[in-house]
Amino acid sequence: MHTFIADEVLRRRIGQDCAAIFQFFHPRSVLTASMKRMEFTESQIVKILCEARWAPINDVARKHNITEATIQAWRGKFGQMGAEDIKRLRHLKTAHVRRQKLAAKARL
């Protein structure tokens, strides 16, 4: 069975008993599980941000199966934008990337 380096360091630092307690409360499946990447539409993002204004962020994040950091990142990125503004911003970004790729191909 493979062990994490962190587990080995923990065992050395605080002893075998405390490491066993730590593993009881934090099973490997929780430590290694990664969240599935989800794509949200512009209207969904706006709806989630509106909910997060009035409800605790951790409750909103749990309800929509996303992290609190995702909500904070959206808040910083989109702020008070509406769904149409976010859609336009995404369109502009993809168009910009497309133009950059065409310019790079033209240089070759």
**Residues with Cβ within 8 Å of residue 46, at least 6 apart in sequence:** 78, 81, 82, 83, 86
Confidence band of 31 (pLDDT split at 50, 70, 90): very low
| Domain edges within the chain | 1-33, 37-107
| Average pLDDT rounded to a whole number, residues 87-99 | 90
Query: Using one digit for the tens of pLDDT, what is the confidence trace for 6-30?
Result: 556 555 665 555 555 555 555 554 4
| Average pLDDT rounded to a whole number, residues 87-92 | 88
Query: Using one digit for the tens of pLDDT, what is the confidence trace for 42-61?
Result: 888 888 998 998 899 999 99
Rounded to whole angstroms, the Cα distance separating 34 from 37 reads 9
- pTM for the model stands at 0.52
Residue 3 pLDDT exceeds 60:
no
